[in-house]
């Protein structure tokens, strides 16, 4: 589908990796695999865990230098933690990304049970610094983006405690941001959910990148 639409899809890793990168091996909600697309300020994570800068600056520069792409037409999307990253990065760089969508994003990670501990480890105890990486709070603090597309499965086991798309819906409504929130009946958090609606997202982005 991406090829038919003339799109280049870039799939970055979710966190820094390597033998010298600090990590909690038995904690899938933190460290290797869970960088949360922020720039950590706390040791021992500040050196390596700079995923916001990687996605927003370093990776686009590498793509531009090595592939025949039009960098004036960029979009961003992601799933779960990646959906959180897509929303926050788009809100902070609205001039960069022409479109933004997400599958089952963590819309308010500063209060979600599976992300709050990671924020404290990466950013410290001062919760004011967390606001820069929380989509609902960025909107509350005045950040704007024209429109979002969000798909969320109704049978997602993380829906009530971790994802809570209604919080994004409320924030967007107050701010006048156009949000298309599609609650997909019976779908969970898995690959099948993403693969089922991926073509929809690619077409949605292609229409805005044209």
Express each pLDDT in 119-152 by its tens digit: 999 999 999 999 999 999 999 999 999 999 999 9
Catalytic pick from 84, 99, 115, 189? 189
Q: Which class for 16: exposed (0-12), middle (13-18), buried (19 or more C-beta within 10 A)? A: buried
Q: Is 90 exceeded by the pLDDT of residue 3?
A: yes
The two tokens of residue 53 are 């800068």
Q: Is 201 known to be catalytic?
A: no
Express each pLDDT in 15-25 by its tens digit: 999 989 998 88
The residue ranking higher by pLDDT, 155 or 20, is 155
Q: Is 84 known to be catalytic?
A: no
The two tokens of residue 65 are 């230098």
Proportion of the chain above pLDDT 70, given as a percent: 100
Query: Structural domains in the chain?
Result: 14-209 (3.40.50.1820)
Catalytic pick from 15, 23, 80, 84? 80
**Strand stretches in 18-110, DSSP E:** 74-79, 97-103
The answer to whether the Cα torsion of 149, 188, 105, 100 is positive or negative is negative
Q: Is 151 known to be catalytic?
A: no
């Amino acid at each position: 589908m991406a090829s038919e639409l003339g799109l280049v899809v870039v799939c970055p890793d979710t966190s820094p990796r390597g033998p010298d990168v600090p990590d909690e091996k038995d904690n899938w909600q933190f460290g290797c695999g869970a960088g949360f697309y922020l720039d950590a300020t706390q040791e021992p994570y500040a050196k390596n865990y700079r995923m916001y800068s990687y996605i927003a600056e370093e990776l686009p520069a590498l793509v531009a230098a090595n592939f025949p792409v039009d960098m004036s037409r960029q979009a961003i999307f992601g799933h779960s933690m990646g959906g959180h990253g897509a929303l926050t990065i788009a809100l902070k760089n609205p001039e960069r990304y022409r479109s933004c969508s997400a599958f089952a994003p963590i819309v308010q990670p500063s209060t979600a049970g599976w992300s709050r501990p990671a924020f404290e480890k990466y950013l410290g105890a001062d919760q004011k610094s967390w606001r820069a990486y929380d989509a609902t709070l960025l909107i509350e603090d005045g950040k704007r983006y024209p429109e979002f597309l969000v798909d969320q499965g109704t049978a997602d086991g993380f829906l009530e405690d971790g994802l809570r798309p209604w919080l994004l819906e409320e924030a967007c409504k107050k701010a006048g941001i156009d949000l298309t929130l599609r609650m997909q009946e019976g779908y969970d958090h898995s690959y099948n959910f993403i693969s089922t609606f991926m073509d929809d997202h690619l077409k949605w982005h292609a229409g805005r990148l044209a």
